[in-house]
A and B are shown apart, each in its own frame.
Chain A
Amino acid sequence: MSLADFYVPESAGGLPISLVRVEKAFGALSVLANFNLEVPAGQFLAVVGRSGGGKSTLMRLIAGLDAPSSGRVGIGGRKVERLHPSVRLLFQEARLVPWQTVVENVGIARGPNWQEKARGTLADVGLEGREGDWPSVLSGGQRQRVALARALVSEPQILLLDEPFGALDALTRIEMHRLLERIWTGRGFTTVLITHDVAEAVALADRVVVLREGAIALDIEIDLDRPRQELADPRAVDLQRQILDAV
């Protein structure tokens, strides 16, 4: 299967990511070795694997939070040297600033017309009318929505998600999946989702990569119709089984 086979949305407002012979070691411990990965512009990639399999390391490398020990991490054809301005990161925790209101959190980087833009993005994630609230009065799902709005407000071309829905209850998680899929379909940014939830990976991604002991154990296309109906499609169940076997 070649890279061109993967589904890429038409409005590709994304940037491609490429990792070439990347190695990352912490002291004597090698997390990634001779690692190669190409993510075309606009693709929704899910990276699945067990804890300690190198998922988070991979994401920190793409984000520019860490530098590879050797090899090259590139975004849009250019080497990642530090944080890329059009890459946004959604963490496992919402990481909202408690002393800033919801709208101030979304517009944390400020800039021209930040309030207007923040309000618009909050409406996109379904939080209209909550602009003036403090984060402490929000539920877990609402906080993660604010965090998503904060990531989207600068119109990123790459969105990195580090198990952002892991702490949410099952119903809220499904809501967040629908929301993310809808926004991604509309905007077409390249997305890398780190998760250990195989069902989540199949429900959202165009392509799933299974990471095991720092190497790619499986690289599979998820060619299901969008918008996806969770749990409904027997093909999805089959794909989930394949992925689980590889993890």
Chain B
Amino acid sequence: MAETSVAGYAAGETRRPNLKSLGGALAPWVLPVALLIVWEIAARTGLVTARLMPAPTTVAAAFWRSLLDGSLFFHTLASTQRALIGLVIGGGLGFVAGVVNGLWRPAETLFDSTLQMVRNIPHLALIPLVILWFGIDETAKIFLVSIGVFFPIYINTFYGVRTIDPQLVEMASVYGLDRKALIRRIILPGALPSILVGLRYALGFMWLTLIVAETISATSGIGYMTMNAREFLQTDVVLLGIIVYALLGKLADVATRLIEKRVLVWHPAYQAKPGGEP
């Protein structure tokens, strides 16, 4: 809003607002770029040991190499696959449990306190047990990711369903909506903002869990790639792995924002021009 009004005021002079908005777009990148330059200089001049902290250009070279031999793609695909399968299973179960417990008191009484108890166990503490149960193959990692994403989605779905405006529910029953229509048209869309908050938390947990799970036991994935590189002291590849995780995390965040923008178009916070008629 602020940007459009600035542009509107300065409609007469075209150059300055353009420069201003260009500067605005570049500003967030100033610090990272400066850091990269300092880092590069420090590594080249031997201020930091290049073997422990290789220069950005070295990392870029590692990126180019792994891109050409296909290993980066292979490992990223393996990690993403695990992450998404875990998200679908854990997130799906969390969503269903949240809706059922939110709508149906007996289910809440029966399950909620148990789930709250389990929630307080750090799920990464289950790793030894999970290795005993599933060995070190795919199931173990998907299981861990599923548990990691289950709780944020469950809690936020439950909360979203429970905090639906009771006045809307009363209105719906006065206007003859049956239970199915009530859930579909009132309760689920009303819980959606909260569910999406849960999804964003879940995506954070998803990558976190996967990193740890892959560094412990894997033969593919970004986590495996970095642990393998550590064995051979390829610090540049380790750094590359960390950057890839950061990018995947950012990508997930951007994806949820896009989803929010799309499905919450009715929400005043997501509307281009808010406010009523004069």
- A residues in contact with B32, CB < 8 Å: none
Contacts A98-B267, A99-B190; A91 near B175 (Cβ below 8 A): no
Contact A88 B277 (CB under 8 A): no
Q: A97-B185, A100-B185, A136-B271 are in contact. Are A83 and B177 (CB under 8 A)?
A: no
List the one stretch of B21-29, B40-48, B80-88, B166-174 in contact with chain A. B166-174
> How close is B252's CB to chain A, nearest CB, in angstroms?
25
State which of A83, A100, A110, A135 has its C-beta within 8 Å of the C-beta of B174.
A83
Q: Judge whether B274 and A136 touch: CB under 8 Å.
A: yes
Q: A138 and B277: CB pair below 8 A?
A: yes
Contact of A65 among B170, B274, B277 (CB under 8 A): B170
**How many residue pairs, one in A and one in B, have C-beta atoms under 8 Å apart?**
66
Minimum distance in angstroms from A217 CB to a CB of chain B: 29
Interface size class of B (residues with CB under 8 A): 20 to 34
- 7 nearest interchain CB pairs? A95-B171, A99-B266, A139-B276, A99-B189, A136-B268, A134-B266, A109-B176
Q: Confirm or deny: B186 has a beta carbon within 8 angstroms of a beta carbon on chain A.
A: yes
Residues of chain B touching chain A, judged by Cβ–Cβ distance below 8 Å, are 167-168, 170-177, 181, 185-186, 189-190, 192, 265-268, 271, 273-277
CA distance A77 to B273 in the complex (A): 51
Q: State the main secondary structure of chain A at its contact with B.
A: loop
Residue A112, interface by CB 8 Å: no
**What does the 1/0 interface line of A90-131 toward B look like (CB < 8 Å)?**
010101011111000000111000000000000000000000
9 intermolecular pairs with C-beta atoms under 8 Å apart: A85-B176, A91-B167, A95-B171, A97-B189, A109-B176, A109-B181, A110-B181, A134-B271, A135-B266
Q: Are the C-beta atoms of A137 and B276 separated by less than 8 Å? A: yes
How far, in Å, is A194 (CB) from chain B's closest CB?
15
The reply to whether A89 and B174 contact each other, CB–CB distance below 8 Å, is yes
CB neighbours (8 Å) of A83 from chain B are 173-174, 176
Closest chain B residue to A139 by CB distance? B276
